[in-house]
Amino acid sequence: MRPPSVDSLARSISDIDLPPPLLVDAARTAISNGKPGSAREEAVKLRRTLLGPAINATGVLLHTNLGRAPFAYSQPAKATNLEFDLDTGARGSRNHHVANLICRLTGAEAAVVVNNCSAAVTLVLAALARDRAVAVSRGELVEIGGGFRVPDVMAESGARLVEVGTTNRTRLDDYRAAHQVHEAALLLKVHPSNYRISGFTEETPVKSLATLGVPVVVDLGSGLIDEACFWLREGRPPWLGEEPAVKQTLEAGADLVTFSCDKLFGGPQSGVIAGRSDLVEACVNHPLMRAVRPGALVLNALQQTALAYLRRDGDAVPFWRMAQTPVSELLSRAEALSVGRTVHTMAITGGGSLPGEQIPSAGVEIGGDISRLLRDADTPVIARVRDNATIIDLRTVDPSDDSLVADAIASSI
């Protein structure tokens, strides 16, 4: 029996939301596998490889694999004043719009936005310390997700790493000696945001480093803007622990601070360099800047996030809204799902932030491992499995998605 034509088979599955060329690809795959009847399955499989929405029910607020900080953003199909000065009618700078808001939030003299925090650190090192020594504590030579390590980033930037102190103890004299022997261009302090060293430890605070007369650069990573958390109705939550903030780090004497915007800041993936105007300007004028600058969509989304902070509207930032939801409200939502067993859980921030800190939460528990079935839902639900039970943590689920979660669970059990 002759197989159906590729064209007719592709037309038979045209109800699937894919453009015709991809439906043809699915039909060809099914025919080449000797299973023309599997064309629909192949099309669905292809559609699931595309970037699309998912429901984060893991209890990890900044889940790196699920896009870290969730945020809603839309922009009309219109031109913007991205690099146009409305006063003079001449070319402007794409950096000034949101950077000025970052300065207002942090007290920095100047700031520049790049596409992530690794790019921020790389640009700082390339612009300010190429072919020169940079002193870093051995206890801060971190590795972030994906195998990216501080020594590797430093090597690619052209700076020369000088390790100081020991893994657990680094004193001011260690940095002083490194500067005297190697004429360090920078002192780089890296906040170990994804791990902790406890016990017999010592680190040198920024305020002390600032006395050595060498520019101090602090990579905070997580992006907490102000330790007071003025945008939250109840102020700084206890689960933030001793997480350092950009504003206070600059006040302590840091010349530059780098941080991510898609973690505790709660915005789109991007990174910021903030601090002394002359050092920021050197970064802006470096040839690498053009390779790491973000586009208008990211800058506009980041601007909306910064404006929410300035309005003291923490609820407008989805990360903070989810993080601050009372457990009583989560329990009520869990009961309303009418599936599984309502349970207390513990959520975490994730995204390489606040290791060991937990946030009381609640959700539902389903006996057995149904995680694959939940992922197969039209809108995939990503849950966690513990002790042969599937946990759906509602702290990381937007309330508007509760009905989708309930439908996914009902079809899985």
What pLDDT does 151 receive?
Answer: 84
**Alpha carbon distance 380, 80 (integer Å):** 35
Chain segment 110-166, per-residue pLDDT in tens: 999 999 999 999 999 999 999 999 999 998 887 766 666 888 888 889 999 999 998
**CB-based contacts of 178: which residues, under 8 Å, 6+ apart?**
133, 135, 162, 164, 184
How confident is the model over 62-121, as pLDDT tens digits? 999 999 999 888 888 999 999 999 999 999 999 899 999 999 999 999 999 999 999 999
Please tell me what DSSP assigns to residue 189.
Answer: E
* Integer CA distances (angstroms), 301 to 266, 270, 309, in order: 11, 10, 13
* pTM for this model (two decimals): 0.93
- Tell me the H-state helices in 107-212: 117-129, 150-157, 172-182, 206-209
In CATH, 55-70+320-410 is 3.40.50.300: no
Length of the chain: 413
Beta strands in 201-327 (DSSP E): 216-221, 256-260, 271-275
Q: Where are the domains of the chain?
A: 55-70+320-410, 96-316
Phi/psi for 247 (5° steps) reads -60, -50
CATH architecture for the domain at 96-316: 3-Layer(aba) Sandwich (3.40)
- Per-residue model confidence as pLDDT tens digits over 272-328: 999 999 999 999 999 999 999 999 999 999 999 999 999 999 999 999 999 999 999
Helix pair 117-129, 150-157: axis angle to 10 deg: 50
